[in-house]
Amino acid sequence: MEHLPLFISIEQRPCLIVGGGAVAARKARLLLSRGARLTVVAPELCPELEQQLPEFEWLQARFEAAHLNKHFLVVVATGSKEVNAQVYLLANQRGILVNKADDSKRSAVIFPSVVERFPLQLALSTGGKAPWLARLLRARLDALLPSHWGALAEVAGRLRERVKNSFGSCDERRRFWARAQDDSTLNAYLQHGNLAAAEKWLQQEVQQPSTGEVILVGAGPGDPDLLTVKALNELQKADVVLYDQLVSDEILALIRPEAERISVGKKAGNHSVPQDQINQLLVDHALQGKRVVRLKGGDPFMFGRGAEELQTLVEAGIRYQVVPGITAAAGATAYAGIPLTHRDHAQSAVFITGHCKKDGEEPDWASLASGRQTLVIYMGLMRSAHIQQRLIAHGLNAATPVALIERGTTAQQKVVRGTLDELSLLAVRVESPALMVIGSVASLADSLAWFKAGTNEQEILIERAG
């Protein structure tokens, strides 16, 4: 890394720009916005620079060494390579900070791309190697960063000492601000610019006892890019994260480094932590005043026992939030090129689980076997033969297209396709976690499959005997 990331105040400091063109105009606008005492040396000024007069002093002359005297920062932006090299050399000899436009190797200072919500600033730089990438990232961050966070930073600055005196540890202060930042009342004040009301609200909250909270978060089907912005924010604020086995390493890497991680992974036939113990862990950590994230694959309310965990929190009087996630039925099928509905194939989609509670009732097979719908079966591999037999017995055509999607949306995605009468044979070709899709929409993958997953084949078709 050639440059040290550093914020420097130039308010009322003497700064010099050598050059009078469009680049000089952009640099002048930036330096003036930060309160610099600016001088521009150039025989002529472009129209944009002329419009900024008299905000800066204009020396209508060619550059001379004496122009560098007593300046804190120099920006070189002429069209002459010889003049640029001369200014750079002289400024370096005198220990003056110098920026040479579009030449990071000859710049002690470079100007990063900035996302600003005053007084909040985010600076991005590629060291001058790929300015387009810095601009792209700036645009993305600008779209993600709430407009009122600058006001939040302003109010937080006013109350910093009070919060510090009210909470004994950094963790307690961080939890307070994380809780406050989520509050709809505070956000409404900030969004409307009512800083006085926001400050009063925070003063009252400081006096309230610190309480824990559980956030139930859906991690999506596997691709970390499908994680929602809100889910990512919660991972960055968590004190404790209880996560399932289906959550990918890439998503786990997004958790705040200081957060405690607890694996409570479950998969068919192997429950490493019983559900009642998971419920108790959520309660225990929340009662300690911690911000607890319960991270579940897919969507927490789609066959994920999320509601059961929330019922435990309700009984214990613990606050909670729910952050939905993209469920496997939507994500995996989309990546496999299989639409859940289509006017020519299916007017409805039915989501069912392949296994129920012990002694649970069988599903309504007659209803499931009706045509012109898509069946999406979670956790059905172990009962594939039973599912195949029951659907055919209740009238679903044995030639109905089916697809099994293993580790959908990830680099390890594997899609196996065939027909209903081959379902049990297909099931031995994939491993859990896998999603089962039954319906004529599965045949559309022939033309709509787009995702190329790692080194695996996008499709594997069962060869028919004879």
Q: Which residues contact 304 (CB under 8 A, 6 or more apart)?
A: 218, 296, 297, 298
CA 393 to chain centre: 46
For residues 96 and 12, give the distance between their C-alpha atoms in angstroms, rounded to a whole number: 16
Beta strands per DSSP E along 170-283: 213-218, 240-243, 260-263, 266-267, 270-271
Burial class (CB in 10 A: 0-12, 13-18, 19+), 269: exposed
* Cα distance between residue 131 and residue 26, in whole Å: 15
In 87-224, beta strands by DSSP E: 97-100, 113-117, 120-124, 213-218
Question: 418 φ, ψ to 5°?
Answer: -170, -140
d(CA 260, CA 347) in angstroms, rounded, equals 45
Q: How far apart are CA 293 and CA 286, in angstroms?
A: 10
Cis status, amide bond into 300, omega within 30 of 0: no
Give the pair of three-digit tokens for residue 291.
């911000």
Question: What is the full DSSP assignment across 146-188?
Answer: -TTHHHHHHHHHHTHHHHHHH-SSHHHHHHHHHHHHH-HHHHH
Active-site entry in 27, 100, 239, 244? 244
Query: For this structure, is 244 an active site residue?
Result: yes
Query: What is the identity of the amino acid at 355?
Result: H
Q: Which helix (H) or strand (E) holds 39?
A: strand 37-41
The answer to whether the CB of 241 falls within 8 A of the CB of 263 is: no
Give the whole-angstrom CA distance, residue 21 versus residue 116.
Answer: 26
- Where on the phi/psi map is residue 382: left (φ > 0), alpha (ψ -120 to 50), or beta? alpha
The neighbouring-strand residues paired with 291 are 213
Amino acid type, 328: A
Do the bridges between strand 260-263 and strand 97-100 make them parallel or antiparallel, or are there none, so unpaired? unpaired
Distance CA 352, CA 368 (A): 10
Choose, from 266, 290, 296, 414, the residue flagged as catalytic: 266
Which residues are known catalytic residues?
Answer: 244, 266
